[in-house]
Amino acid sequence: MATETEGLPATRVYRRPMAAGWWTGKRHYFLYVVREFTSLPLALWLLWFLYQVQQAQHRPANYHPPTSIAFVVFSAVVLLFALYHSITFLSLAGSILRFKVVEKPVPARLIVLAQFAIWAVASAVIAAVLIGFAR
């Protein structure tokens, strides 16, 4: 794609050829692509969930939540994907976030542990609220 504009010499751009399965060559690349893929089934499940909420809101008397084995298995797989995505994201918090307390940097490990602790507390609160509503 060499072009000449306004008397300047033409430039060429090198495009390194990459095979379709480039991400399968190294474990790090593979896990990265799998992590990015986990958002697709999660998005599909969340769209389905929003549809179910709408159905329950508009026709509460006729609403029956899905109980098929296929749905339960899909939900379990999506839960594993969500956990994998969350764990890998929160593990990076120490590299991304930088805090200083009394002019001393907070250790990255402490930031990661704090992120996981907040996640655990939030999960416990949400579980308690959902169990409370179910009664």
Domain CATH for 105: 1.20.1300.10
The answer to whether residue 8 sits within a structural domain is no
The answer to whether residue 61 sits within a structural domain is yes
Question: Residue 5 has what pLDDT?
Answer: 61
The answer to whether residue 72 sits within a structural domain is yes
Q: Which residues pair with 105 in a beta bridge?
A: 100
The answer to whether residue 14 sits within a structural domain is no
* Local confidence pLDDT in tens for the 135 residues of the chain: 555 566 677 788 888 888 888 889 999 999 999 999 999 999 999 999 999 889 888 888 888 888 899 999 999 999 999 999 999 989 988 888 888 889 899 999 999 999 999 999 999 999 999 999 888
Which residues are within 8 A (CB) of 11 and not within 5 positions of it... i.e. 6 or more apart? 2, 3
> Nearest to residue 109, comparing CAs of 90, 124, 122, 84?
90
What domain count does the chain have?
1
Structural domain boundaries, residue 63:
22-134
The answer to whether residue 118 sits within a structural domain is yes
Task: Pull the structure tokens for residue 27.
Answer: 């474990």
The answer to whether residue 66 sits within a structural domain is yes
The answer to whether residue 3 sits within a structural domain is no
The answer to whether residue 6 sits within a structural domain is no
Question: Residue 4 has what pLDDT?
Answer: 56
